[in-house]
Amino acid sequence: MLGSDVMSRVSLKSAREIEIMRRAGALVAETFRVLEPHVRAGVTLKDLDRLAEEFIRKNGAVPAYLGYGPKHNPFPGTICASVNEVICHGIPDGRVLKEGDIIGVDIGVLLDGYYGDACTTYTVGAVRPEVQGLVDTTREALHAALDVVRPGARVGDIGHAIQTLAEGRGYGVVREYTGHGIGKRLHEEPTIHHWGARYTGLKLQPGMVFTIEPMINLGVPDTRLLPDGWTVITGDKQPSAQFEHTVVVTPKGHEILTL
């Protein structure tokens, strides 16, 4: 019954809606390409945030995260900039990137009434081998999850693919923060857990659009929310990485909208 109730709240997107979301996703991807050369030692998080906002607005869209959230504490940036032990929702402040850092850059846009959303973790110069392994594994975990997205698969298959790969290599998989449906709202049904059992959960259907965004920790999977109400860090202050795409289920498989 729970699955039926959730399915009743899932918005299956039309061809017209998917085309708009394809353009929103393409703008997200282009924004990453603009930022990538600037992700280097000596650059501040604010610098990256300014570049992203200027590019998004120049292309007729609105930053999705800027002002998002409760009225008493809206998110203050265009991008989420999550450095080292920050898992997600890092605030783009005056922090200066340095050699050996990793930074998860999460970008969302609102274009013609629909959202696009993706995240990439960058290395700043050379990083420790174990940190590079974390970044590589997190990227691989996202692609392992994407490989199972097709009609008839279940959301548990997505989580299982991520959990099996990441935990099999000794990393911690964050439980509290998830992927999500997306469309006219930034966050919709269904919830996409990054852990789970095969053959369980909601069955995927053509027209479903959602994000998959594994957050993988070098150490324990525990999380801690900082007093700013946004920044989430690892429980042991070990590094964390995240990769994310927005994906649509198609009749024969899936399409990544944020490539």
Q: Is the pLDDT of residue 4 over 60?
A: no
Strand partners, 105: 81, 120
d(CA 157, CA 145): 8
Q: DSSP string of 232-251? A: EEETT---EEE-BEEEEEET
User: Quick one: what percent of the chain has pLDDT higher than 90?
Assistant: 96
* 122-134-28-83 Cα dihedral, nearest 10 degrees: -50
Q: What is the pLDDT of residue 2?
A: 46
Average pLDDT over residues 69-84: 98
> pLDDT tens digits, residue range 160-173?
999 999 999 999 99
- 19 among annotated binding-site residues: no
Least confident of 9-13, 227-231, 253-257: 9-13
Q: Which residue has the tokens 């964050």?
A: 174
User: Quick one: what percent of the chain has pLDDT higher than 70?
Assistant: 97
Average pLDDT over residues 67-88: 98
Q: What is the pLDDT of residue 3?
A: 53
Task: Enter the tokens of residue 257.
Answer: 């909208």
- 180 among annotated binding-site residues: yes
- 254 among annotated binding-site residues: no
3-state secondary structure of 61: coil
> pLDDT tens digits, residue range 199-222?
999 999 999 999 999 999 999 999
Task: Enter the tokens of residue 186.
Answer: 């930034």
Q: Which residue has the tokens 């927005």?
A: 246
Q: What is the pLDDT of residue 20?
A: 98
Q: Which residues are within 8 A (CB) of 8 and not within 5 positions of it... i.e. 6 or more apart? A: none
Please compute, for residue 75, the number of CA atoms within 13 A of its CA located in the half-sphere on the CB side.
22
Q: What is the pLDDT of residue 9?
A: 87
Q: Domain ranges for the chain, please list them.
A: 2-256
d(CA 102, CA 218): 12
d(CA 244, CA 220): 21
**Using H for helix, E for strand and C for coil, what is the string for 1-45?**
CHHHHHHCCCCCCCHHHHHHHHHHHHHHHHHHHHHHHHCCCCCEH
Q: Is the pLDDT of residue 254 over 80?
A: yes
- 117 among annotated binding-site residues: yes
- Please answer whether residues 89 and 80 qualify as being in contact, where contact means their C-beta atoms are separated by less than 8 angstroms: yes
For domain 2-256, say whether CATH 3.90.230.10 is its number: yes
